[in-house]
Chains A and B, each alone.
Chain A
Amino acid sequence: MTSASIRPLRPTGYAVLRPGPAAFLLHRRSLVAAGTLTLALAAVSLAYLCVGESFVSPASALDVVLGRPSPDELVVGTLRAPRLVVALLVGAAFGVAGALIQTVARNPLASPDVIGISQGASAVTVGALTFGVTSYTVLPYLSVAGGLLAALLVYLAAWRGGLHAARFVVIGIGFAIALRSVTTLFMTKGEYVVAQQAQVWMAGSLNGRGWEVSEPLGWALVLLLPAVAWAARAQRTVGLDDDTATALGVRLGRVRFGLALLGIVLASLATGAAGPVDFVALLAPQIARRLTRTAQIPLVCSALLGAVIVVLGDLLARRLFAPTELPVGVLTAAVGAPYLIWLIVRSRNGGTR
């Protein structure tokens, strides 16, 4: 009894970081996972820069990254690095977006590409393409608008004096299907070339995406960082039931709305940059949570894992059937779809939530 009262007590598994008067709780296992994932991400990124039509030695690739003169400047610096940066940013954004939306919906099935956000972005983008808008400086903004619009529609349709998580998911799936048929309609109406272009965009491709895409996306993500830092903490309380969370002084409605909005914006931004890279937002948070074993979905690890999945996916997509290049979305879907089926089967069998 006495030993228990003397032992310094903190929430099990957490370390406390005290810079000055502040104090932050850090989940130990998550720290280890984040460190490991960062190393894995660095390794995958380096491989991404080295492997391609021509092989570049890692040392030479590092030279380019560090700004030292290198004979591979063109291949690594001009061709591969910009695309890698897009892959990193898109993956991280999808990872966090999925984590937030799954948290709010309290459902591992809820991810932006399942509940209609990606489909909304697709419908608007493909619609714009068929009407002759082909500039890659305009299209991302349109898809962001499309994603937000779809989310708003789902939200309005699901709202009934309160937001019920299960209803939100089901209505979202309905909208996803409806919006997908709108996209198909646009494609059959459009010209052959446009339809072809739309087809590639819809599969989620990083081909030809460079600094002009990654720069605005990067800035947008930097601006959203404080919101993500808030979300990482706010998320803790949303996992409790409504009554308990309210009793603890949480303004549940506002917190949930803020988390969902952030997730939707992130997903729309990522979709705008790379098209709907399916299943990343679904997979990354769930794998991250299994790694960290936290009571909530870890945001940092979800971001890292999302980036690893997209970079690795795009690397494979480039090389697997070389010289033919697959859109990265095809690859992530090939891994993600079986996982989704497994999730559904498991929840049918009365598994956890």
Chain B
Amino acid sequence: MTRLSTRGLTLAYEDRTVVDSLDLDIPDGEVTVIVGPNACGKSTTLRALGRLLKPKGGAVLLDGQALAELPTRRIAQQIGLLPQTPVAPEAITVGDLVARGRQPHQRWWRQWSEADERAVADAMERTDVAALADRPVDELSGGQRQRVWIAMALAQETELLLLDEPTTYLDIAHQVEVLDLVRQLNHDKGRTVAVVLHDLNQAARYAGHLVAMKAGRVVAEGPPSEVVTAELVREVFGLDCVVVPDPVTGGPLIVPGRPWQPSPPPKTPPTDSVSSPVRTT
């Protein structure tokens, strides 16, 4: 079963077609990770899934209905999306920002409810930002800020969650933290998550369903253990590599080929024999 899918989806910026008649299903209750080289259309596809980009052709379907035909507020009650570089209003506090995730559930005459309260408290607890509630967002570190944004998306309480490169500006420890959080959410609440990631090994580790894209089309999709092969990496990324079992998870681990080395072994130039200090004859 898939609630969210695309049919014949064509996406373009001005005249440049980025994605051409794409059929993609985001399986329910799984973590789907979309990978691919730069400019392959993975982020563009994710933006279209979250109706941030209007299709040039085809449609994104939510429960069989085209997103373009649904009121944006109704969509916001079903699909949450965290863009690549969200911008917070100046001087906003963490608690205030997270609470704004409740927007699609609120009305002018009902600006705050018990459900809002519960959702915000739960989101902040899960992302471990409850202690930061009174701090201005501007003052936080990159990792903390990303957790706050995720908390806002969680407070929206949508069954589907789309994350556009959520680990981009984070160091390795925070990257792992964010991805573990994604996996935990998927496990605890059965939420469907679609994530665009840059790092192929992280994708292989965290994906339940992996989608590899190249030049605006899907090259392969399925469980990482079946999809990730040296041939695929060569085809999609143009990279020579070996795929070995991950020593921790047992899943596929991509090890790129040998780093560049100067090809002929270093020789001492014949002209400069006198001054060379290493010579010992």
Residues of A within 8 A of B (CB): 1, 4-5, 8-14, 16, 21-25, 230, 233, 236-237, 239-241, 243-244, 246-251, 293-296, 352-353
* B73 proximity list for chain A (CB < 8 A): 249
Q: 5 pairs across A/B with beta carbons < 8 Å?
A: A240-B86, A241-B83, A246-B72, A294-B91, A295-B90
Complex CA gap A249/B80 in Å reads 9
Q: Select one of B79, B103, B108 contacting A237, CB under 8 A.
A: B103
Tell whether A241 pairs with B87 under 8 Å between CB atoms, given A248-B100, A248-B104.
yes
* A24 proximity list for chain B (CB < 8 A): 109, 111-112
- Asked if B124 CB lies within 8 Å of chain A CBs, one says yes
Contact, CB under 8 Å: B99 / A13: no
- Asked if B121 CB lies within 8 Å of chain A CBs, one says yes
Contact, CB under 8 Å: B89 / A244: no
Contact, CB under 8 Å: A243 / B88: no
* B120 proximity list for chain A (CB < 8 A): 9, 11
- Asked if B134 CB lies within 8 Å of chain A CBs, one says yes
Complex CA gap A230/B108 in Å reads 8
With CB as the reference atom, state the residue of chain A lying closest to B138.
A352
Q: Select one of A9, A230, A243, A248 contacting B121, CB under 8 A.
A: A9
Contact, CB under 8 Å: A240 / B89: yes
Q: How many residues of B contact A (CB 8 A)?
A: 51
Contact, CB under 8 Å: B111 / A13: no
Q: Select one of A1, A14, A249, A293 contacting B76, CB under 8 A.
A: A249
Complex CA gap A295/B95 in Å reads 12
* A25 proximity list for chain B (CB < 8 A): 111-112
Complex CA gap A239/B86 in Å reads 11
A5-B125, A13-B96, A244-B86 given; 9 more Cβ-contact pairs under 8 Å: A11-B99, A12-B94, A14-B112, A233-B108, A240-B88, A244-B83, A247-B82, A248-B156, A249-B74
CB distance from A29 to the nearest CB of B (A): 11
Q: Select one of B89, B93, B117 contacting A9, CB under 8 A.
A: B117
CB distance from A153 to the nearest CB of B (A): 27
Contact, CB under 8 Å: A243 / B81: yes
* B91 proximity list for chain A (CB < 8 A): 293-295
* B133 proximity list for chain A (CB < 8 A): 9, 12
Tell whether A240 pairs with B100 under 8 Å between CB atoms, given A12-B93, A233-B108.
yes
With CB as the reference atom, state the residue of chain B lying closest to A245.
B103
Q: Select one of A11, A240, A247 contacting B52, CB under 8 A.
A: A247
- Asked if B144 CB lies within 8 Å of chain A CBs, one says no
Q: Select one of B52, B96, B131 contacting A246, CB under 8 A.
A: B52
With CB as the reference atom, state the residue of chain B lying closest to A233.
B108
CB distance from B169 to the nearest CB of A (A): 15
- Asked if B65 CB lies within 8 Å of chain A CBs, one says no
Tell whether A10 pairs with B112 under 8 Å between CB atoms, given A237-B103, A243-B81, A293-B91.
yes
* A230 proximity list for chain B (CB < 8 A): 108
- Asked if B55 CB lies within 8 Å of chain A CBs, one says no
Complex CA gap A295/B91 in Å reads 6
With CB as the reference atom, state the residue of chain B lying closest to A247.
B81
Contact, CB under 8 Å: B95 / A4: no
* B117 proximity list for chain A (CB < 8 A): 8-10
Tell whether A11 pairs with B95 under 8 Å between CB atoms, given A4-B130, A240-B87, A249-B76.
yes
With CB as the reference atom, state the residue of chain A lying closest to B86.
A244
* A293 proximity list for chain B (CB < 8 A): 91
Contact, CB under 8 Å: B134 / A12: yes
* A23 proximity list for chain B (CB < 8 A): 109-113
* B77 proximity list for chain A (CB < 8 A): 249
* B87 proximity list for chain A (CB < 8 A): 240-241, 244
Complex CA gap A233/B99 in Å reads 14
* A244 proximity list for chain B (CB < 8 A): 82-83, 86-87
Contact, CB under 8 Å: B95 / A249: no
Complex CA gap A236/B92 in Å reads 11
* A294 proximity list for chain B (CB < 8 A): 91
Contact, CB under 8 Å: A5 / B111: no
Complex CA gap A12/B91 in Å reads 12
Residue-wise, chain B 158-184 has the 8 Å CB interface mask toward A (1 for contact) of 000000000000000000000000000
Tell whether A12 pairs with B96 under 8 Å between CB atoms, given A248-B76, A249-B104.
yes
CB distance from A303 to the nearest CB of B (A): 19
* B82 proximity list for chain A (CB < 8 A): 244, 247
Tell whether A233 pairs with B111 under 8 Å between CB atoms, given A11-B96, A243-B52.
yes
- Asked if B101 CB lies within 8 Å of chain A CBs, one says yes
With CB as the reference atom, state the residue of chain A lying closest to B90.
A352
Q: Select one of A1, A13, A352 contacting B93, CB under 8 A.
A: A13
* B79 proximity list for chain A (CB < 8 A): 247
With CB as the reference atom, state the residue of chain A lying closest to B149.
A244
Interface centre among A1, A4, A295 (most CB of B within 10 A): A295
Complex CA gap A250/B76 in Å reads 9
Complex CA gap A78/B76 in Å reads 56
CB distance from B164 to the nearest CB of A (A): 9
**Smallest CB-CB A-B distances: 5 pairs:** A249-B76, A12-B95, A239-B89, A295-B92, A11-B99
Complex CA gap A4/B253 in Å reads 40
